[in-house]
Chains A and B, each alone.
Chain A
Amino acid sequence: MKVNIKSMSISTILTIILIVFMTIYAELNTGFKDFLKNLFGHHWVAKGIITVIFFILSYFILKNFISDNKKVKEIVAWVIIATILGSLAIFIFFIYEFFI
């Protein structure tokens, strides 16, 4: 089976966005954090399992619509941008939450 790299890159970007969203929203909304906790016993475990399921599902959905080609540089650049921005968003949010 040939992997569709474009679809997998977009899945990675969407997964990063989902992690950032779940992380910040769970801190701001205790109901959501409790929902995650009730789902798998611990909010962090729930985030991990949801993330893996989302990554796999989004890849298999996207690969039906997106055709792959060898021009991976642009999409990988977006993966890296998403990683940097996602990391900074989480870091800055927890600085804000701790001090304010």
Chain B
Amino acid sequence: MVHFLIGAHAALGEVGAIGFLWVLIELLNPTTTRVRRAKIIALISVVLLFLSWFTGGYYYVNIYGEDVKPIIKEGPQPWVHGIFMETKEHVFLFLPFLALLNSLILKKYEKEIIKDKNIRISVIALCVIIFLLAFAIGAMGYLISSGARAALEANLG
């Protein structure tokens, strides 16, 4: 039931999200070194979020739909699929684009961002939304796993 791709998908996504929290912290009091580091972390985080998309997508299409979804829908918490999985799988699609945009703003305005407060606030605001969205999606993943577990326990009883 527990597939390693779930863990890989969640870990890649959450580490990618934490990467943007790191970027945010670097930009609170930016120096040339901190901005350069933030730029590298943002780029790595973009790659991690795309990898999370591919691993999660492979699991969703090839395993979840066949093996897990029917069990959840017949279990005591069918709403975890009907509401949270459906929301999660679609809202997730926003994340790689937001992350890419943020990383490219940082790359383009690397030199200006220390003095230009508006650019800095823009990147920080995008970091906040990426982080919150990714962790909301992570929480939905937890609910979905709970729904699958509840369905299995109900069948055992």
| Interface, chain A (partner B; CB < 8 A) | 2-3, 5, 8-9, 11-12, 15-16, 19, 23, 41-42, 44-45, 47-48, 51, 55, 70-73, 76-77, 79-80, 83-84, 86-87, 90-91, 94-95, 97-98
CB contact between B57 and one of A3, A45, A80 (< 8 Å): that residue? A45
Closest to A73 in B: B118
Q: Is the CB of B121 within 8 A of A73?
A: yes
A-B contact pairs, 10 of them (CB 8 A): A12-B97, A41-B61, A47-B90, A70-B119, A73-B121, A77-B125, A79-B98, A79-B126, A80-B125, A91-B83
Known A12-B97, A83-B94: A45·B61 in contact at CB below 8 Å: yes
| Interface, chain B (partner A; CB < 8 A) | 53, 57, 60-61, 65, 79, 82-83, 86-87, 89-91, 93-94, 97-98, 101, 104-105, 107-109, 112, 116, 118-119, 121-122, 125-126, 129, 133, 136
Q: Is the CB of A94 within 8 A of B93?
A: no
Known A86-B94, A87-B94: A42·B133 in contact at CB below 8 Å: no
In the complex, which residues of chain A have a beta carbon less than 8 angstroms from the beta carbon of B112? Answer: 70
Q: Is the CB of A44 within 8 A of B61?
A: yes
Provide the main secondary structure of the chain B interface: helix
Known A70-B116, A71-B118, A73-B118: A9·B101 in contact at CB below 8 Å: yes
In the complex, which residues of chain B have a beta carbon less than 8 angstroms from the beta carbon of A76? Answer: 105, 122, 125-126
In the complex, which residues of chain B have a beta carbon less than 8 angstroms from the beta carbon of A87? Answer: 87, 91, 94, 133, 136
Q: Is the CB of B105 within 8 A of A72?
A: yes
Q: Is the CB of A98 within 8 A of B87?
A: no
Q: Is the CB of B94 within 8 A of A16?
A: yes
